[in-house]
Chain A
Amino acid sequence: MERIDANPTHEYGGFKLRPGSPLPFGATIFPAGGVNFSIYSRHATSCELVLFEKHKPEPFATIPFPDEFRIGNVFTMVVFDLDFENIEYGYRMDGPFNSAEGHWFDKTEILMDPYARAIGGRDVWGEEPDWDNIYPHRARIFYDDFDWEDDHPLEIPLEDLIIYEMHVRGFTRHPSSGVKYPGTFAGIRGKIPYLKEMGVNCVELLPIHEFDEFENSKISPVTGERLMNYWGYSNVGFFAPKAGYAASGRFGMQVDEFKALVKELHENGIEVILDVVFNHTAEGNENGPYISYRGIDNKTYYMLTPEGYYYNFSGCGNTLNCNNPIVRNMILDCLRHWAADYHIDGFRFDLAAILGRDQSGAPMNSPPLLETLAFDPILGKCKLIAEAWDAGGLYQVGTFPSWGRWAEWNGKYRDTLRRFLKGDPGVVPEVIQRLQGSPDLYQWRGTSASVNFITAHDGFTLMDMVSYNGKHNEANGEGNADGEDHNNSWNCGWEGPTDDVGVNRLRFKQIKNAAAMLLISHGMPMILAGDEMGRTQMGNNNAYCQDDEMSWIDWGLLDTNAELVNFYKKMIAFRKAHPVLRGSTHFQNRDYVGSGYPDISWHGTKAWYVDYSDERPIIAFLLCGLHARGGTERDSYIYVAMNMHWEMHGSELPKLPEGMSWHVFANTDAQPPEDIWEVGHEVMIENQPEFLVGPRSIAILVGKRVGE
């Protein structure tokens, strides 16, 4: 039976129209025929739909929304017989222009749909755009359907996650990657065997939403190269995958290509977390361009001062008005879109403290947006991870409103572990907290509230953390003024690359120390892609603009630094093999299974005794395997001794149950191949009562019966 709404009711300039449906927002292909356009604006007085043929400089049609089609504050209509694969659409909105009142309407500007599911204009990464384009970022219409077969988000328990943070382009753009489509979603598909070999089970992608790599682009005074917005923490559109990250972007098929990547990662047991940037947009401050939001309803989308200026809690010119009910719904719609249509497993929220500010910028007690996301049915199994601070000085590590759902990037883990690694005095008590999943911060939230990391995209790579005392960001063109100054890094005796064997040896050891501690800590470990092969950015700790070999992973390092790769691989395997390392609840520091050992106990040079003085900075802990996962699983005994002193110290080993003996799994002081062993092939030590822990090194021992 033909539907009644398959028939037009109006005509304008040869286009057949009928009143549309206000929901869903955006442009939707209607099964009954036609494309439904729907856009919100509270303050606009009128709205026009502007249609372009793909890539054409001038529009071929402008269709005003008849006033009788408007429902509430939503302009909506169905346009029939559109060649939707070959058009791009935008809107012109009329309304007041009065910046003191917060209104920025300009009916000459063509505006992108905030709900655009595909966006053209930067179809091929780095391809010089037409700077005179009257509509640079163009909304497109795309099918939502995709053959997911039996794919489903993996729902790996938080405590079992091993996160690998990567930049889509940087991961395979280097010629050494050997993939067919370098620098793209399809390129990552080509490297899935590597990810599996490493053993990670989750990739966290730096922003993949449409952004403009040419935003603020300029020529580097140092290298003469063009500096780009390489990281992409500046959204043009929240609902669309970045076309320039798709090999098929020039055919407009980025949606399918990204979905194919998610599906194939899932097939291989790897989850996908997206880094989402809801704190600001690419429209900048008062001097920024009109892309979308500003011209559609500035007062709704942005936090404004009483005088009508943009608040800048993001450090990027404007602040998205996250707790305005309209914006809150947009964020919810957006995340639901990624969860339902793209099968995304979780989200990491950039500068998430902003999401807890009210419309005047003040931090709220129970921010409605964060609560909504915590309880949303569609996001019900998605990981929600906050970067629990913002550029306005709000620092909420340990106190981010969580409703038992939100995890946090644990910045204190990073800072403490770095200080411990370089041998700072007085950090032992805090290290003890961090290694246990930071019970001091997350007492009621469990260990998996903590994403543990020592390095992330923002800051030094691990190799640079052990090679530079200070940042070297000259190539960014800001006189080395950008980037973090408090890095807690140590160059091991020489600033930058050196031929000094001793220094290089120590650097490798420090990297292994970091990897070892990260992977034996309770909480969710996050590895920065490339750290496992000793990737350097030549001391640049803020490579957001470096689209070149400084940022791209050089796959030749797999051979050069095979020793590190091997160490990481085995540490990851060790974590996966031992549930006692992956409890979701905090230790109780007591024996609740009757094994004769507490779940965790702390030691030092002497067994059962921790020396907190700075003279002997060696600490060790013993995990009782019978307490694995709250006593529900059986595991080996694990002993980890950490000596961050420059001298060797003996660590008296706690006595094991009858019939068991200590075996070495890893010893970062030893030269390969004795630095780390295959899981299950640990080597029994001769001197059972004591282990000599070399200078600045870590030993991981397994207590088991011979032959186990």
Chain B
Amino acid sequence: MGIEVTTRDEATIVEISGNLDANTTPQAQEEIMPLIVPNCILVLDMSKCEYVSSAGLRLLLTVAKRVKATEGGQWCLASVSAEIMDVMEMTGFAKFFKTFDTVSEAIEATRKPL
């Protein structure tokens, strides 16, 4: 699992690659959580993420909750693979997440409040 953080416009793009599972989630959490600050616009780019386990879904949910509790914070997922999207739908996690097909679309959408 790798995490690469870049910025585009006002948005912070977090590219997660590889597997997000019980082994890698603690590290991902450590890197993502500090990015959640007032008025942050966080886009998790999942285009290179191959697998999200149960622990990974929990991390995403934790991010969602933390952003919600942060003033002016916005976040969304971009470029989620069909298989990961499927798992999110089956398990009911999808309803907690806003997803966009591409990072650009996600950024565009965050210009208006999500």
A404-431 CB contacts (< 8 Å) to partner B: none
Number of interface residues of B (CB under 8 A): 17
**Complex contacts, A608 vs chain B, CB 8 Å:** none
Can you name 11 A-B residue pairings with CB atoms under 8 Å? A143-B54, A143-B58, A147-B61, A186-B90, A246-B90, A247-B86, A247-B90, A256-B57, A260-B92, A260-B93, A261-B92
Given contacts A143-B58, A145-B58, contact A256 B53 (CB under 8 A): no
Given contacts A180-B89, A186-B89, contact A256 B61 (CB under 8 A): no
> Which B-chain residue is minimally distant from A263 (CB atoms)?
B92
> Which B-chain residue is minimally distant from A185 (CB atoms)?
B90
Given contacts A84-B22, A147-B61, contact A142 B90 (CB under 8 A): no
Contact among A83, A189, A251, A264 for B23, CB-based, below 8 A = A83
Q: Are B54 and A256 in contact (CB under 8 A)?
A: yes
Q: Are B54 and A257 in contact (CB under 8 A)?
A: no
Q: Give the docked Cα–Cα distance between A247 and B94 (Å).
A: 15
Q: Are A181 and B90 in contact (CB under 8 A)?
A: yes
For the complex, is A205 an interface residue (Cβ under 8 Å from B)?
Answer: no
Q: Give the docked Cα–Cα distance between A85 and B23 (Å).
A: 9
Q: Give the docked Cα–Cα distance between A84 and B86 (Å).
A: 23
Q: Are B87 and A248 in contact (CB under 8 A)?
A: yes
Contact among B23, B54, B87 for A142, CB-based, below 8 A = B54
Given contacts A251-B87, A253-B87, contact A85 B92 (CB under 8 A): no
For the complex, is A471 an interface residue (Cβ under 8 Å from B)?
Answer: no
B19-66 CB contacts (< 8 Å) to partner A: 21-23, 53-55, 57-58, 61
Q: Are B91 and A248 in contact (CB under 8 A)?
A: yes
**Complex contacts, B87 vs chain A, CB 8 Å:** 248, 251, 253
In the A-B complex, the 8 residue pairs with the smallest Cβ-Cβ separation, listed nearest first, are A260-B92, A85-B22, A256-B91, A248-B90, A247-B90, A186-B90, A257-B91, A253-B91
Given contacts A83-B23, A85-B21, A85-B22, contact A252 B54 (CB under 8 A): yes
Instruction: Write the A100-123 contact mask toward B (1 if CB under 8 angstroms, else 0).
Output: 000000000000000000000000
For the complex, is A242 an interface residue (Cβ under 8 Å from B)?
Answer: no
Q: Are B54 and A253 in contact (CB under 8 A)?
A: yes
Q: Are B22 and A83 in contact (CB under 8 A)?
A: yes
For the complex, is A259 an interface residue (Cβ under 8 Å from B)?
Answer: yes
Q: Which of A143, A189, A253 has the most CB of B within 10 A?
A: A253
**Complex contacts, A253 vs chain B, CB 8 Å:** 54, 87, 90-91
A129-180 CB contacts (< 8 Å) to partner B: 142-143, 145, 147, 180
**Complex contacts, B92 vs chain A, CB 8 Å:** 189, 256-257, 259-261, 263-264
B62-100 CB contacts (< 8 Å) to partner A: 86-87, 89-93, 96
Residues of chain A touching chain B, judged by Cβ–Cβ distance below 8 Å, are 83-86, 142-143, 145, 147, 180-181, 184, 186, 189, 246-248, 251-253, 256-257, 259-261, 263-264
> Which A-chain residue is minimally distant from B53 (CB atoms)?
A85
**Complex contacts, B55 vs chain A, CB 8 Å:** 85, 143
Closest chain-B Cβ to A169's Cβ sits at a distance in Å of 15
> Which B-chain residue is minimally distant from A264 (CB atoms)?
B92
Q: Give the docked Cα–Cα distance between A261 and B57 (Å).
A: 17
Q: Are B93 and A256 in contact (CB under 8 A)?
A: yes
Q: Which of A257, A259, A263 has the most CB of B within 10 A?
A: A257
**Complex contacts, B58 vs chain A, CB 8 Å:** 143, 145
Q: Give the docked Cα–Cα distance between A260 and B95 (Å).
A: 10
Q: Give the docked Cα–Cα distance between A251 and B96 (Å).
A: 20
Known: A147-B96, A256-B54, A260-B90. 17 other contacts (CB 8 A): A83-B22, A83-B23, A84-B22, A85-B21, A143-B54, A181-B90, A246-B90, A247-B86, A248-B91, A253-B54, A253-B90, A253-B91, A256-B57, A256-B91, A256-B93, A257-B91, A259-B92
**Complex contacts, A264 vs chain B, CB 8 Å:** 92
Q: Which of B54, B55, B86, B87 has the most CB of A within 10 A?
A: B54
Task: Say what secondary structure dominates the interface of chain B.
Answer: helix
Residues of chain B touching chain A, judged by Cβ–Cβ distance below 8 Å, are 21-23, 53-55, 57-58, 61, 86-87, 89-93, 96
Q: Give the docked Cα–Cα distance between A85 and B54 (Å).
A: 8
Q: Give the docked Cα–Cα distance between A256 and B61 (Å).
A: 13
**Complex contacts, A181 vs chain B, CB 8 Å:** 90
Closest chain-A Cβ to B51's Cβ sits at a distance in Å of 9
**Complex contacts, B21 vs chain A, CB 8 Å:** 85-86
Closest chain-B Cβ to A54's Cβ sits at a distance in Å of 11
**Complex contacts, A143 vs chain B, CB 8 Å:** 54-55, 58
**Complex contacts, B61 vs chain A, CB 8 Å:** 147
> Which B-chain residue is minimally distant from A180 (CB atoms)?
B89
**Complex contacts, B90 vs chain A, CB 8 Å:** 181, 184, 186, 246-248, 253, 257, 260
Q: Give the docked Cα–Cα distance between A84 and B55 (Å).
A: 10
Q: Give the docked Cα–Cα distance between A247 and B53 (Å).
A: 15
**Complex contacts, B86 vs chain A, CB 8 Å:** 247
Closest chain-A Cβ to B61's Cβ sits at a distance in Å of 6
Q: Give the docked Cα–Cα distance between A272 and B21 (Å).
A: 31
**Complex contacts, A189 vs chain B, CB 8 Å:** 92
**Complex contacts, A259 vs chain B, CB 8 Å:** 92
Q: Which of A84, A86, A246, A251 has the most CB of B within 10 A?
A: A251
Closest chain-A Cβ to B93's Cβ sits at a distance in Å of 7
Q: Give the docked Cα–Cα distance between A263 and B58 (Å).
A: 17
**Complex contacts, A246 vs chain B, CB 8 Å:** 90
> Which B-chain residue is minimally distant from A145 (CB atoms)?
B58
**Complex contacts, A261 vs chain B, CB 8 Å:** 92
Q: Give the docked Cα–Cα distance between A186 and B22 (Å).
A: 24
Q: Give the docked Cα–Cα distance between A434 and B61 (Å).
A: 51
Q: Give the docked Cα–Cα distance between A83 and B61 (Å).
A: 21
> Which B-chain residue is minimally distant from A247 (CB atoms)?
B90
Closest chain-B Cβ to A258's Cβ sits at a distance in Å of 9
Q: Give the docked Cα–Cα distance between A84 and B53 (Å).
A: 12
Closest chain-B Cβ to A13's Cβ sits at a distance in Å of 21
Q: Give the docked Cα–Cα distance between A83 and B21 (Å).
A: 10
**Complex contacts, B89 vs chain A, CB 8 Å:** 180, 186
Q: Give the docked Cα–Cα distance between A257 and B61 (Å).
A: 15
Q: Give the docked Cα–Cα distance between A147 and B95 (Å).
A: 12
Closest chain-A Cβ to B110's Cβ sits at a distance in Å of 23
Q: Give the docked Cα–Cα distance between A186 and B95 (Å).
A: 13
Closest chain-B Cβ to A28's Cβ sits at a distance in Å of 15
Q: Give the docked Cα–Cα distance between A256 and B58 (Å).
A: 11
Closest chain-A Cβ to B29's Cβ sits at a distance in Å of 14
**Complex contacts, A86 vs chain B, CB 8 Å:** 21-22
Closest chain-B Cβ to A144's Cβ sits at a distance in Å of 11
Q: Give the docked Cα–Cα distance between A145 and B21 (Å).
A: 16
Q: Give the docked Cα–Cα distance between A251 and B86 (Å).
A: 11
**Complex contacts, A251 vs chain B, CB 8 Å:** 53, 87
Q: Give the docked Cα–Cα distance between A132 and B70 (Å).
A: 54
**Complex contacts, A256 vs chain B, CB 8 Å:** 54, 57, 91-93
Closest chain-B Cβ to A342's Cβ sits at a distance in Å of 13
> Which A-chain residue is minimally distant from B88 (CB atoms)?
A248
> Which B-chain residue is minimally distant from A259 (CB atoms)?
B92
> Which B-chain residue is minimally distant from A142 (CB atoms)?
B54
